[in-house]
């Protein structure tokens, strides 16, 4: 079978395209329904050219939405299946929260226990403070009344894990072609029959769209609506909700020796995520940064060469149709982080740890960040459209979701997956939306 005709055409060589290719190849072989060479992955740039290649790489279960937690637990199993190939560091994850989020965190803990996901919960001012000081002797943030310590998860190195996935897919016979851009889709009799690219048309039996922040474009090529009806849980119906909205992720690196950010025991800490409603003061001059709820996350990271992390993303003020996705990530003139983020994030680090006081000057001055395409409820859509076009639109939750590929692969072979049911597109019209938490992040 040559490149102009394939059974399975996957667009996008990020975490989802590559994991789907690998798992589909395995499944085809295991069921005798085909082989890896039935699958072609194309990417307009190359492996890791999108959001997966710039992701901070945090892997957590900590979601308020039960359906998200079950998906994440499944994905963590996949990360743990080959930590070396996926450059996965199983250091755990710590959610540190104020009273306003305490009930949410308690509920997450209870439900983690119900699905057998190992974590520890500490509540109350004094006990939280003691727990955090036992981990970090320089802990200083106050007003913390809930700590959830997930013993699994952690982080992975973005490009290294994609290379690991690509190698697994290629070992199964999958072909990956870089520098092939999809420019259109031909739909005949209600189904996709071929995809137009700048290297010629490719006929396919099944199309998988895994294009991250570029989903807006292929969605439009498929003739899908840019406005949708969203029925809210309170009975309100929004008939003209934008299908896509862009948010700019805010991340950066403090250029300190990552080895200096350890636990009191000298071992690597879990990824730390702190939400707080304490006023945040500028670490250099004591002026007010914010008196609104704020949140940050951070980890020592040897591939980034420092303490790397981020803060709540910023909604892009333009309509999705007007957003320039290219050039992407750190190459973008518009969507790399600015001074407000640097001030907020470094001040927040100093708010939490004595060791980071006065370290603002060590913030690495290089472009960082990237944008993500969010759905109307900020949760993923995993669904089939036009009979044979499977869209993986993760609403920017997705580097950690390395397991989606396995579930999608099964659905491509007509084995419906209950874990994916809560993420169908028709939930917007029918009002089966996910619950909303008190977190300052649109993705928790
Ligand atoms: C700064 C930042 C930090 C993040 N941190 C985390 C994190 O810590 N943890 C986490 O879980 N998630 C994180 N995310 C979210 C996560 O990175 C994304 O949700 C996920 O990587 C999306 O994966 P994907 O495979 O769908 O898309 P991508 O990785 O974006 O891959 C899409 C690919 O499609 C290709 N493509 C696009 N259009 C076309 C076309 N027309 N023809 C051919 N190819 C095309 C692109 O070149 C690209 O390589 C972060 C995102 C950003 C931006």
Domains and CATH numbers, the chain: 1-90+155-225+378-444 (3.50.50.60)
Cβ atoms 248, 316 nearer than 8 A? yes
- Residue 17 CA to ligand 1 center (angstroms) comes to 10
Q: Using CA atoms, how far apart are residues 222 and 184, in angstroms rounded to an integer?
A: 8
- Residue 408 CA to ligand 1 center (angstroms) comes to 17
What does each of the 444 residues of the chain score in pLDDT, given as a tens digit? 445 999 999 999 999 999 999 999 999 999 999 999 999 999 999 999 999 999 999 999 999 899 999 999 999 999 999 999 999 999 999 999 999 999 999 999 999 999 999 999 999 999 999 999 999 999 999 999 999 999 999 999 999 999 999 999 999 999 999 999 999 999 999 999 999 999 999 999 999 999 999 999 999 999 999 999 999 878 899 999 999 999 999 999 999 999 989 999 999 999 999 999 999 999 999 999 999 999 999 999 999 999 999 999 999 999 999 999 999 999 998 988 899 999 999 999 999 999 999 999 999 999 899 999 999 999 999 999 999 999 999 999 989 999 999 999 999 999 999 999 999 999 999 999 998 888 777 767
**Which protein residue's CA is at the shortest distance from atom 14 of ligand 1?**
55
As beta bridge partners, residue 204 has 6
Q: Using CA atoms, how far apart are residues 308 and 349, in angstroms rounded to an integer?
A: 11
Contact 10 CB / ligand 1 (< 6 Å): no
**Which protein residue's CA is at the shortest distance from atom 3 of ligand 1?**
55
How far is the CA of 379 from the CAs of 212, 375, 402, 444, in angstroms? 13, 6, 16, 9
Contact 398 CB / ligand 1 (< 6 Å): yes
Contact 28 CB / ligand 1 (< 6 Å): no
- Residue 392 CA to ligand 1 center (angstroms) comes to 11
How high is the pLDDT of residue 14? 98
Q: Using CA atoms, how far apart are residues 380 and 360, in angstroms rounded to an integer?
A: 35
- Residue 51 CA to ligand 1 center (angstroms) comes to 3
Contact 307 CB / ligand 1 (< 6 Å): no
Eight-class DSSP state of 54: T
Contact 12 CB / ligand 1 (< 6 Å): yes
Contact 11 CB / ligand 1 (< 6 Å): yes
**Which protein residue's CA is at the shortest distance from atom 31 of ligand 1?**
14
- Atom index in ligand 1 nearest the CA of residue 250 equals 1
């Amino acid at each position: 079978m040559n490149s102009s005709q394939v059974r399975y055409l996957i667009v996008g060589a990020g975490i989802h395209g590559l994991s789907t290719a690998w798992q589909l190849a395995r499944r085809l072989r295991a069921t005798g329904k085909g082989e890896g060479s039935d699958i072609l992955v194309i990417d307009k740039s190359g492996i890791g050219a999108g959001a997966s290649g710039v992701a901070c790489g945090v892997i957590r279960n900590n979601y308020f939405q039960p359906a998200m937690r079950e998906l994440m637990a499944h994905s963590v199993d996949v990360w743990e299946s080959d930590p070396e190939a996926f450059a996965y560091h199983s250091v755990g994850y710590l959610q540190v929260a104020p009273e306003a989020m305490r009930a949410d965190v308690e509920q997450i803990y209870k439900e983690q226990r119900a699905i057998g996901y190992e974590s520890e919960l500490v509540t109350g001012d004094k006990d939280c403070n003691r727990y955090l000081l036992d981990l970090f002797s320089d802990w200083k943030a106050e007003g913390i009344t809930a700590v959830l310590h997930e013993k699994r998860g952690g982080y992975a190195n973005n490009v290294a894990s994609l290379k690991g996935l690509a190698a697994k897919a290629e070992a199964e016979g999958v072909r990956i072609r870089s520098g092939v851009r999809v420019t259109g889709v031909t739909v005949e009799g209600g189904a996709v029959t071929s995809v137009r690219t700048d290297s010629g048309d490719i006929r396919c039996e099944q199309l998988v769209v895994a294009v991250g922040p570029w989903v807006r474009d292929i969605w439009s090529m498929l003739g899908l609506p840019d406005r949708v009806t969203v029925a809210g849980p309170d009975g309100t119906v929004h008939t003209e909700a934008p299908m896509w909205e862009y948010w700019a992720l805010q991340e950066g690196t403090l250029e300190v020796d990552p080895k200096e950010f350890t636990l009191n025991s000298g071992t690597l800490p879990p990824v730390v995520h702190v939400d707080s409603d304490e006023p945040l003061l500028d670490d250099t001059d004591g002026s007010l940064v914010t008196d609104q709820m704020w949140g940050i996350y951070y980890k020592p990271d040897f591939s980034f060469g420092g303490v790397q992390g981020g803060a709540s993303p910023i909604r892009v003020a333009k309509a999705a149709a007007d957003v320039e996705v290219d050039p992407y990530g750190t190459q973008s003139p518009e969507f790399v982080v600015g001074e407000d983020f640097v001030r907020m994030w470094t001040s927040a680090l100093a708010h939490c740890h004595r060791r980071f006081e006065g370290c603002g000057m060590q913030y690495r001055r290089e472009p960082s960040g990237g944008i993500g395409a969010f759905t109307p409820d900020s949760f993923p859509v995993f669904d089939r459209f036009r009979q044979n076009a499977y869209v993986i639109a993760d609403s920017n939750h997705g580097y950690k979701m390395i397991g989606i590929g396995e579930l999608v692969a099964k659905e491509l072979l007509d084995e419906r997956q209950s874990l994916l049911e809560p993420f169908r597109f028709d939930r917007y019209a029918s009002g089966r939306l996910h619950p909303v938490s008190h977190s300052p992040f649109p993705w928790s």
